[in-house]
Amino acid sequence: MMKTTALALAVLCAAVLLGGLLSGIDRRLTARLQSRQGPPLIQPFLDVIKLMAKERMVTNPWQAFSPVASLAAAAVALVLFALQGDLLVILFVHMVGGVFLVLGAMASPSPYSQTASQRELWQMLSCETLLFLIAGALYLTTGSFRLSELSALPEPLLYRLPLLFAAFFFALTVKMRKSPFDLAGCHHAHQELVRGVFTEYVGPYLGLLEIAHWLEVMLYLAICSLFWATDAKGMILLPLAVFFAVIVLDNVAARLTWRWMLGWGWGASFILSAFNLFWLKG
């Protein structure tokens, strides 16, 4: 029990540090791609510290609970992943955090927050479906949903699931809140919903949501590493390559509508995933 607790704390500390650092790299690289100097790499940590020092203000008590629940769900899902647990359980726990984020946004009377919460539900529908298809592919490949079974494969999972990997790239773009799918909340000034689901959050509660987002991105990059789980170097290089590819896409693509996301983004990804699963089963 003590070893498990120590491992969980170590994983969470490392995830927060790496998540904040990747956020800083994201902002710095985006600035350079736009011919700007950009903030220092530690700026995300400074922003969160500043938010934590501000006064606690919410429009209703539910908004005080939702960020805590979202952060807790992201942390538990990441710890279960580090413990090589059941992927289905990890996905269900992760989904709880998204549900509380939506409920917190819906609790506000702000029209920006209300509209963004509906878009967030569409994004959850798109992403979670694809993640469960990946879990199904894992079961068809190894006969189990447990992550520990992947290391015994003779070749990387990417060779067997190339189309599912392309679909996962779509899901990662949505969850990182990058163009062309930054529909429910992003940092960019062109977002017509201000900050979408985060509009009504200020101070420590917004800081908790920022940390939860770091952990969520780390979880998705960890899932990305499963596609090359047979080699330690591949498990590091593949997520990094995908992370930088998402940043480049964010700077060259225009933001699209939620109808396009469902009709073309999710639709095409679902078809690719289905073909890959039929091919794998055959």
Residue predicted with more confidence, 282 or 4: 4
State the Cα–Cα distance between residues 179 and 115, nearest whole angstrom: 18
pTM of the model: 0.92
Q: What mean pLDDT do residues 92-117 have?
A: 86
Summarize pLDDT for 38-66 with one digit per residue, the tens. Answer: 899 999 999 999 999 998 887 788 888 99
For residue 185, the model assigns a pLDDT of 67
List the structure tokens of 14.
């490392």
Helix axis angle for 203-225 and 87-106, nearest 10°, is 150
Q: Please report, for residues 45, 209, 215, the alpha-carbon distance to residue 13 in angstroms, rounded to integers and kept in the order given.
A: 13, 16, 10
The HSE-up count of residue 95 (CA atoms within 13 Å, CB side) is 17
Summarize pLDDT for 236-267 with one digit per residue, the tens. Answer: 999 999 999 999 998 888 777 778 877 877 88
Whether residue 231 contacts residue 217, with contact meaning beta carbons closer than 8 Å, is answered with: no
Query: Where do the DSSP E strands lie in the chain?
Result: none
Q: Which residues pair with 146 in a beta bridge?
A: 86
- Considering only CA atoms, which of 94, 83, 76 is closest in space to residue 146? 83
Give 49: exposed, middle or buried? Use CB within 10 Å, 0-12, 13-18, 19+.
exposed
Summarize pLDDT for 161-210 with one digit per residue, the tens. Answer: 999 999 999 999 988 888 777 776 666 544 545 667 887 888 899 999 99
Q: Can you tell me which residue has the tokens 């499963």? A: 226
- Considering only CA atoms, which of 37, 46, 15, 41 is closest in space to residue 26? 41
Domains of the chain, residue spans: 2-281
Q: What mean pLDDT do residues 34-41 have?
A: 88
pLDDT classification of 115: cutoffs 50, 70, 90: confident
State the Cα–Cα distance between residues 69 and 4, nearest whole angstrom: 22
List the structure tokens of 158.
């990417």
For residue 280, the model assigns a pLDDT of 82
Summarize pLDDT for 76-92 with one digit per residue, the tens. Answer: 999 999 999 899 999 99
For residue 210, the model assigns a pLDDT of 93
State the Cα–Cα distance between residues 161 and 142, nearest whole angstrom: 13
- Out of 100-109, 120-129, 144-153, 258-267, pick the least confident: 258-267
Can the peptide bond before residue 156 be classed as cis, meaning omega within 30 degrees of 0? no
Q: What mean pLDDT do residues 201-224 have?
A: 93
For residue 73, the model assigns a pLDDT of 96
% the chain with pLDDT above 70: 95
Other CB atoms within a 10 A radius of the CB of residue 239 amount to 22
Whether residue 20 contacts residue 41, with contact meaning beta carbons closer than 8 Å, is answered with: no
Radius of gyration of the chain from its Cα atoms, rounded to whole angstroms: 18
